[in-house]
């Protein structure tokens, strides 16, 4: 998954990137604060989320 955050038309906004993992019943099993920051007019932040799995060894 990829995405882009762009700054507001005027002023500054703060953002928080939070990753939440839930199980098959919708129960939260993990929650991580990944990053925080601020965006001003004209600023841009791109993000990518990748999930990797490893089979039995």
* Residue-wise pLDDT tens digits, 4-49: 999 999 999 999 999 999 999 999 999 999 999 999 999 999 999 9
DSSP the chain: -EEEEE--SSSEEEEEEEEEEE-TTS-EEEEEEEEEEEEETT-EEEEE---------
pLDDT for position 48: 94
**Length of the chain in terms of residues written:** 57
pLDDT for position 57: 74
């Amino acid at each position: 998954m990829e995405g882009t955050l762009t700054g507001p038309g005027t002023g500054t906004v703060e953002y928080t990137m939070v990753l939440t993992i839930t199980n098959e019943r919708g129960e939260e099993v993990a929650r991580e604060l990944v990053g925080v920051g601020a965006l001003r007019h004209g600023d841009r932040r791109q993000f990518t989320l990748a999930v990797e799995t490893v089979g039995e060894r």
